[in-house]
Structures are given as C-alpha cells and as structure tokens.
C-alpha cells in the first residue's frame, strides 16, 4: 500500500488513486482542477471561487474555518486536502479520525512547488504537474527583482491594522519581486499601531483585497496616515494564492509597476 507524507509529516496510506476528493483550500482546489482531476472532486469550500465552473458545479462543504462535517461525511471522500493556516485545527483533527487527510504548510515558493509535485504524485499526474510547475517557475523567474528594494507594508486588515510579515507566503512573493518588507523583523501577521506604522515609514503601502476588503474608500485614510507613501490597492489572490493562480501574477505586476513608476 503506497504511503505519502504531507507537509506536516503526517503519513497517509492509499490503496489506490483517490476517486472522491474534497479540497477545502481555494488555491489548492484551483490547482487540482488545473491538474486534471476535476472529475474526482466531490467537495470544495465556499471560498473556492476559481474557476467559476468548479464553483458552480461542485458541492460546497462550508467555509475554510468552519466546515460542514456532516456534509463531508455524506460525501464520503477518499481523501481530504487542507492547509495548516487556512483550516481550523479542530475541524482537521475531527476529520483525521474518520478520513485520510493530506495537509499542506506553505510559507515559501519552494513549499508551493513541493505541494504541487506531491499532489501530482498522489494522483499519478506527474507529467501534468511537472509541466505546470515548470510553467509557473518560468513566469515567476521573470518577475525577480522588478522592484528596486522599495520598502513596503502589505496590509491584510484594519481595526486593528494587520500586515503580512516574516514567515508568510505573501512575504516570499514580496521578496521575489525585489520588495523590502518593512515589517520583516516581525513574524506572521502582527498588529501595528498607527504610531509604529508611521515610524516604519514605508515607500509603498499595499492594501490587499482579502481577507479584509480594502477598497477605494480606504485610500484617503492611509494617505493621511502615511503622507509620503504611495498607497495602492492590490489583488490579494495574486499575492497569497499558492498554485496555478500565480500564473496571472506576471501580467498583473507589469501593470502595477507601470502604475507606480510610469513605465
């Protein structure tokens, strides 16, 4: 019986290729769809909105942090695919008692590639997975250091203000782009006071569209707080969704650089 290790070092034994799969992380669901196992997806989270065909046609099993365990039991999956950060530990522990659960733990681009290759191996889609990884690597490599070490704060929340700091996937994307995270001396998603934000004095301020829905109406607030900074709304999916969603990052960043620096 083949044995696979997930990114939390859990051992999962599979007697055959899983035929009934539930994916409870949006970015991983999209990758699985692109990998070519869409016929075997029986459940996704309500936040797995891309691609739209998947969202429309696959049963939803609750939110990433609050799963409908009874619905999952009804769907009787061969394998559930989750993530350490995005899913509730209580839900995962409960599911592990009844089902095979493969967990990712992604804080870097290397972790993302490892996840993609590992899942491709489980579903015997190594060729397809390798092609997607190669395509993604080539695209991301073209984005290396497109910025010139500008200092940035990447906001994910307000009331209180929270930013992405060291040890996050978002930080790894910022580093790839050549940006210097002004909060890099802190870990994960720290709360910052207005006084500290002003002291950090970033050149750029990115307001992410998720998880907090920053919009145009918030720009003046941050411009008042950071009068010397360039304040810009950014697509949070393209900084935080690990997997094939990042194939769209190259064109997006080209437009963003042009917006910030006028070409």
pLDDT per residue as tens digits for the range 162-213 = 999 999 999 999 999 999 999 999 999 999 999 999 999 999 999 999 999 9
Specify the CATH number of the domain 151-261: 3.40.50.1980
List the structure tokens of 237: 């999916």
What is the pLDDT confidence band of residue 104, given thresholds at 50, 70 and 90? Answer: very high
| pLDDT the model gives residue 20 | 97
| pLDDT the model gives residue 1 | 63
8 Å CB contact between 25 and 243: no
Task: Tell me: pLDDT of 261 over 90.
Answer: no
Mean pLDDT along residues 252-262: 89
- 3-state helix, strand, coil split of the chain in percent (to 5) is 40, 20, 40
Cα–Cα distance measured from residue 58 to residue 20, given in angstroms and rounded to the nearest whole number: 12
Mean pLDDT along residues 109-123: 97
Contacts of 71 (CB under 8 A, 6+ apart): 43, 59, 61, 62
Q: What is the pLDDT of residues 123-165, one digit of tens each?
A: 999 999 999 999 999 999 999 999 989 999 999 999 999 999 9
Cα–Cα distance measured from residue 245 to residue 90, given in angstroms and rounded to the nearest whole number: 28
Mean pLDDT along residues 47-76: 96
DSSP 8-state symbol, 166? B
Backbone angles phi, psi at 166, to 5 degrees: -65, 150
Cα–Cα distance measured from residue 164 to residue 184, given in angstroms and rounded to the nearest whole number: 8
Percentage of the residues of the chain whose pLDDT score is greater than 90? 96
Give the residues across from 230 on adjacent strands: 204
Question: How much is the mean pLDDT over the chain?
Answer: 96
Cα–Cα distance measured from residue 131 to residue 138, given in angstroms and rounded to the nearest whole number: 11
Backbone angles phi, psi at 127, to 5 degrees: -65, -50
Cα–Cα distance measured from residue 6 to residue 103, given in angstroms and rounded to the nearest whole number: 6
Mean pLDDT along residues 59-67: 96
Task: Tell me: pLDDT of 246 over 90.
Answer: yes
8 Å CB contact between 109 and 170: no
Cα–Cα distance measured from residue 46 to residue 244, given in angstroms and rounded to the nearest whole number: 19
Rounded to two decimals, the pTM is: 0.94
| pLDDT the model gives residue 259 | 87
List the structure tokens of 52: 């739209």
Task: Tell me: pLDDT of 90 over 80.
Answer: yes
Task: Tell me: pLDDT of 263 over 80.
Answer: no
8 Å CB contact between 80 and 101: yes
- Residue 153: which H helix or E strand, with range? strand 151-157
Query: 3-140 is classed in which CATH architecture?
Result: 3-Layer(aba) Sandwich (3.40)
Domains 3-140 and 151-261 share a fold: yes
Task: Tell me: pLDDT of 2 over 90.
Answer: no
Domains in the chain: boundaries: 3-140, 151-261
């Amino acid at each position: 019986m083949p044995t696979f290790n997930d990114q939390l070092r859990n051992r999962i034994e599979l007697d055959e290729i899983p035929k009934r799969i539930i994916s409870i992380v949006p970015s991983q669901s999209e990758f699985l769809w692109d990998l070519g196992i869409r016929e075997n997806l029986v459940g996704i989270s309500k936040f797995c909105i891309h691609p739209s065909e998947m969202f429309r046609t696959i049963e939803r099993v609750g939110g990433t942090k609050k799963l409908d365990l009874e619905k999952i039991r009804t769907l009787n999956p061969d394998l559930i695919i989750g993530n350490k950060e995005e899913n509730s530990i209580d839900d995962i522990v409960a599911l592990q008692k009844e089902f095979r659960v493969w967990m990712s733990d992604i804080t870097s681009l290397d972790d993302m590639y490892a996840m993609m290759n590992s899942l491709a191996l489980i579903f015997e889609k190594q060729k397809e997975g390798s092609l997607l990884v190669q395509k993604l690597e080539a695209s991301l490599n073209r984005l290396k250091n497109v910025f010139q070490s500008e200092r940035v704060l990447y906001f994910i929340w307000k009331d209180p203000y929270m930013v992405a700091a060291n040890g996050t996937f978002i930080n790894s994307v910022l580093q790839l782009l050549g940006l210097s995270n002004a909060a890099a001396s802190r870990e994960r998603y720290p709360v910052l006071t207005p006084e500290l934000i002003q002291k950090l004095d970033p050149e750029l301020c990115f307001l992410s569209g998720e998880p907090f829905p920053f919009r145009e109406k918030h720009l003046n607030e941050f411009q008042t707080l950071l009068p010397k900074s360039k304040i810009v709304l950014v697509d949070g999916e393209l900084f935080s969704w690990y997997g094939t969603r990042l194939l769209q990052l190259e064109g997006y960043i080209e437009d963003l650089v042009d917006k910030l620096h006028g070409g």
